[in-house]
Structure 1
């Protein structure tokens, strides 16, 4: 489920061989005096019955790599690496991508600082 600034992902409980999870991802732009505009994320939920919450930020120019970073955070908290949180519904992914672009006021073709990729890769 997607709504601007929030994505919810959960599996269907009871399907054999599937890991149970329910995860909410919230995001918003925040100014940073040193780094410029950052996209702040808060992930909260349960994976395999264990609660977790984690916050992180990405630079404005690298925030579009969010799916990779979100996946790493989920795996760190116990999600099987073969599961995917973002790409299960490509239309919804496109909506998230466009919403992040709107939140950041970003335009296609803007330059990327490659140092930010390393910093934001978790």
Structure 2
């Protein structure tokens, strides 16, 4: 279920051969005095009954790789790396992407600072 700034995903245990999980992804844009606008993300939930919380930030120009960061973080907590929490519902991924783009006032073709890719863990 998506609403601007929040996505909730869940999978009951034993369904579809995947582990049981209930995960919320919250995001917002915050202004960093030195870095400028940053995407602030928070993942909170449980995978196989184990609670977790992860917080991350991404620069304006790398924020559109949020799904990759989320996949890496959820894999750290037990969700199989080949299970995409977001990409499985492409319409919701598109909605998140567009919401982030609007919040960051980003346009297609904006340049990417390669140092940000490394610092944002991509």
Same fold (TM over 0.5): yes
Contact 2:71 2:85 in 1 (8 A): yes
Alpha-carbon RMSD across the aligned residues, in angstroms, is 1.2
The corresponding residue for 2:2 is 2
1:65-104 → structure 2 map (5 Å cutoff): 65-104=65-104
The corresponding residue for 1:60 is 60
Structure 2: 5+ residue runs without aligned partners? none
- Structure 1 residues 42, 16: CA separation in 2 closer, same or farther (over 3 Å shift)? closer
SS at match of 2:75: helix
15-24 vs 58-67, which moves further = 15-24
Task: Deviation per CA, 1:43-96: give whole Å up to 9, x if none.
Answer: 000001000011110000100010000100101111111211011111111111
Structure 1: 5+ residue runs without aligned partners? none
Alpha-carbon distance between aligned partners in 2 of 1:51 and 1:12, rounded to the nearest angstrom: 15
Contact 2:13 2:48 in 1 (8 A): no
Alpha-carbon distance between aligned partners in 1 of 2:49 and 2:8, rounded to the nearest angstrom: 16
Alpha-carbon distance between aligned partners in 1 of 2:58 and 2:75, rounded to the nearest angstrom: 18
Alpha-carbon distance between aligned partners in 1 of 2:40 and 2:18, rounded to the nearest angstrom: 30
SS at match of 1:79: coil
Moved over 6 A (4+): none
Alpha-carbon distance between aligned partners in 1 of 2:16 and 2:107, rounded to the nearest angstrom: 43
Query: What's the TM-score, normalizing by structure 2?
Result: 0.94
The corresponding residue for 1:40 is 40
Alpha-carbon distance between aligned partners in 2 of 1:100 and 1:16, rounded to the nearest angstrom: 30
